[in-house]
Amino acid sequence: MLSPRTVHSMHSWSSIAKWTIFGPLACVIVSVTYNAVVFSNMGDEALRRGITAGIVLPIMLGVPLFLYLSLRLRTLAVINRRLGLVARTDSLTSCLNRGAFTAKVETQLLEAEGPLAGALLIIDADNFKAINDLHGHDAGDEALAILSRAIRSVLKPGDLIGRMGGEEFGVYLPGLDQKETESMAERIRRGVQLAHFAPRGKPHVLTVSIGGAVFAGAASFTDLFRIADQRLYGAKHSGRNRAVVMHAYDSPPIDLRQSA
């Protein structure tokens, strides 16, 4: 049985070519070696025919067989890759789902090379229930897709975005300090507010509240999420449509109930 790594490697056409060439070649080597031993005492003519058969038959049978198997394995690899993508991605917003986002951030926090720094933002749509109540859940789904595109449009390569559930998103910003994080959070807030959303032809301004935790040095996703979530509560409590970003080590605990 082939290993999952082998199946995954069959995704590329170069792997198919290698299997189609080297598979029959290995069969030829084995076949010629065997026939040379078996026919060595039967005369030169028998040996020649044995070696010829050991070359021709594996090529005639092996090339189409290995090509067929390689193509089947490639199909399986493509399907596995798509299934993996579906398992990691939120279908509505095309963001990472909560589990995949959390896992990727935790991996980066553990395996980052050089000085570790960055920020975690938790972004929540303001008054989202009103959109569903006034315009229906289809409009709510459209609003979530618009929110995700607006957030993604200001991110740079290497940043991560995930849908944490409902109308809440997480954004991981590696390498940013507090000033840069505040600037990024404000760009996200403005980008969402300027996004076009007009359910049933009626313009509706979308806004978000953002909580952020900036860190430098060792950090865990659990602690960063807790602190960012607390700052999000603070942003909601102080009027919504704003960003509250603090350094993780300077962040006092707060006890606020989340507003919609």
Q: Which residues contact 237 (CB under 8 A, 6 or more apart)?
A: 256, 259
Reduced to 3 states (helix: H, G, I; strand: E, B; else coil), residue 136 is: coil
Contacts of 185 (CB under 8 A, 6+ apart): 121, 210, 212, 243, 245
Supply φ then ψ for residue 80, to 5 degrees: -60, -40
User: Which residues lie below 8 Å from residue 218, measured CB to CB, with a gap of 6+?
Assistant: 116
The strand pair at 208-216 and 117-125 is best described as antiparallel
Distance CA 256, CA 230 (A): 8
Q: Which residues of 31-44 are buried (b: 16+ CB within 10 A; e: fewer)?
A: bbeebeeebeeeee
- Active site annotation includes 167: yes
Distances from the Cα of 141 to the Cα of 130, 136, 149, 198, 202, angstroms:
13, 9, 13, 13, 16
Q: How far are the Cα atoms of 187, 196, 208, 226 from residue 240, in angstroms, in the given order?
A: 16, 19, 7, 19
Whether the Cβ atoms of residue 118 and residue 215 lie closer than 8 Å to each other = yes
- Catalytic residue (one of 167, 168, 182, 186): 167
What is the amino acid identity at position 178?
Answer: Q
Active-site residue list: 167
